[in-house]
């Protein structure tokens, strides 16, 4: 074990790649590789394969090495949404510099009746989360009047920080679509290790389009929640939890790269 810390009610443990491989599936434990701060700083090449990632969870999100698109993990399959939103299935040997997954075992379910946008839906989801559980994984299957998503272009080294690259992102409106939102909620006090608040990726039912979700108009759907207070993070060489600096404006940078610019 490299590092361990209790951030209020979220227990965070840093693991080596070998330790992660030894853990396997654990219900209600979230697993990730690297930190969002390292990604913001341009650490776009990780050491974990999607095959290794899938050993610890079957639902999640992230990106692949070189910041090559948006990663969606659903029912144990890994997909990439490329810069134009098109989806391709990814092999187990693809590497990821940042991803988080859950071995999805929902404890709560709720029918959602729209119209509902991102903020309205996530407020509903917040009421499903048991107290003492600051994090959760979520899956929403639904019918949407609109999904606004984005993806990012693959980068070549030397890598620029994410806040510079985000100007090259492409935002697209998927229109009327049926599909699935997957993602996580982390408390603001975990920001830097993770994205604070809700972070969602979308993939349509035909597995043809998707991306990082900016906003949507949900008509109706079903939400499933898997609460957690355990986050186990695999740290690639050169990255550690001790370098997380909560005073350097990470929140502002995350807002810039993860949220709707307008
Ligand atoms: Zn994302």
Q: What is the pLDDT of residues 210-233, one digit of tens each?
A: 999 999 999 999 999 999 999 999
Evaluate whether 211 touches 201 at the Cβ level (below 8 Å): yes
Domain spans in the chain, listed from the N-terminal domain onward? 3-258
Mean pLDDT of the chain: 93
Q: How far is the CA of 70 from the centre of ligand 1 (A)?
A: 6
Nearest to 229 by CA among 137, 134, 139: 134
Q: How far is the CA of 237 from the centre of ligand 1 (A)?
A: 23
HEC-encoded secondary structure of 156-224: CCCCCCHHHHHHHCEEEECCCEEEEEEEEEECHHHECCECCEEEEEEEECCCCEEEEEEEEEEEEEEEE
- By three-state DSSP, how is residue 65 classified? coil
The Cα–Cα gap between 88 and 228 comes to 30
Residue 25 pLDDT = 83
How many CB atoms lie under 10 A from the CB of residue 122?
18
Tokens at residue 45, please?
Answer: 């090449």
| Lowest model confidence (mean pLDDT) among 102-116, 172-186, 240-254 | 240-254
Q: How far is the CA of 72 from the centre of ligand 1 (A)?
A: 9
Q: How far is the CA of 43 from the centre of ligand 1 (A)?
A: 16
Q: How far is the CA of 4 from the centre of ligand 1 (A)?
A: 25
Q: How far is the CA of 26 from the centre of ligand 1 (A)?
A: 24
Q: How far is the CA of 87 from the centre of ligand 1 (A)?
A: 15
Q: What is the pLDDT of residues 119-168, one digit of tens each?
A: 999 999 999 999 889 999 999 999 999 999 999 999 999 999 999 998 89
pTM over 0.85: yes
Mean pLDDT of 230-247: 85
CATH architecture of 3-258: 2-Layer Sandwich (3.30)
Q: How far is the CA of 93 from the centre of ligand 1 (A)?
A: 21
Q: How far is the CA of 251 from the centre of ligand 1 (A)?
A: 15
- By three-state DSSP, how is residue 209 classified? strand
Residue 3 pLDDT = 67
- Beta-bridged to residue 88, according to DSSP, are 80
Q: How far is the CA of 256 from the centre of ligand 1 (A)?
A: 12
Kindly state the DSSP code that residue 88 receives in the 8-state scheme.
Answer: E
Q: What is the pLDDT of residues 74-120, one digit of tens each?
A: 999 999 999 999 999 999 999 999 999 999 999 999 999 999 999 99
How many Å from the N-terminal Cα to the C-terminal Cα in the chain? 42
Evaluate whether 37 touches 50 at the Cβ level (below 8 Å): no
Residue 1 pLDDT = 45
Q: How far is the CA of 247 from the centre of ligand 1 (A)?
A: 23
For residue 262, what pLDDT band results from cuts at 50, 70 and 90? very low
Torsional class of 202: left (φ above 0), alpha (ψ -120 to 50), beta (otherwise): beta
| Lowest model confidence (mean pLDDT) among 58-72, 131-145, 156-170, 242-256 | 242-256
| Lowest model confidence (mean pLDDT) among 13-27, 137-151, 168-182, 237-251 | 237-251
Q: How far is the CA of 171 from the centre of ligand 1 (A)?
A: 12
């Amino acid at each position: 074990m490299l590092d361990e810390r209790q951030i209020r009610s979220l227990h965070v443990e840093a693991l080596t790649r070998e330790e992660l491989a030894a853990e396997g599936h654990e219900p209600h434990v979230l697993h990730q590789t690297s930190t969002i701060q390292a990604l913001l700083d341009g650490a776009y090449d990780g050491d974990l394969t999607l095959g290794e990632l899938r050993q610890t969870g079957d639902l999640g999100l992230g990106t692949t090495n070189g910041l090559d698109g948006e990663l969606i993990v659903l029912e144990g399959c890994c997909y990439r949404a490329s810069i134009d939103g098109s989806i391709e299935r990814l092999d187990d040997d693809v590497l990821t510099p940042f991803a988080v997954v859950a071995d999805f075992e929902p404890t709560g379910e709720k029918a959602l009746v729209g119209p509902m946008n991102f903020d309205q839906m996530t407020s509903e989801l917040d009421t499903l989360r048991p107290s003492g559980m600051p994090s959760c994984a979520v899956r929403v299957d639904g019918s949407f009047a609109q999904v606004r998503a984005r993806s990012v272009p693959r980068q070549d080294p030397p890598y620029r920080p994410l806040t510079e690259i985000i100007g090259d992102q492409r935002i697209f409106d998927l229109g009327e679509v049926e599909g699935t939102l997957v993602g996580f909620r982390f408390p603001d006090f975990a920001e830097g290790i993770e994205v604070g608040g809700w972070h969602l990726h979308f993939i349509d039912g035909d597995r043809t389009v998707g991306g990082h979700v900016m906003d949507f108009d949900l008509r109706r759907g079903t939400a499933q929640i898997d609460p957690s207070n355990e986050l186990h993070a695999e740290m690639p060489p050169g990255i550690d939890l001790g370098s997380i600096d909560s005073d350097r404006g990470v929140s502002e940078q995350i807002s810039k790269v993860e949220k709707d610019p307008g």
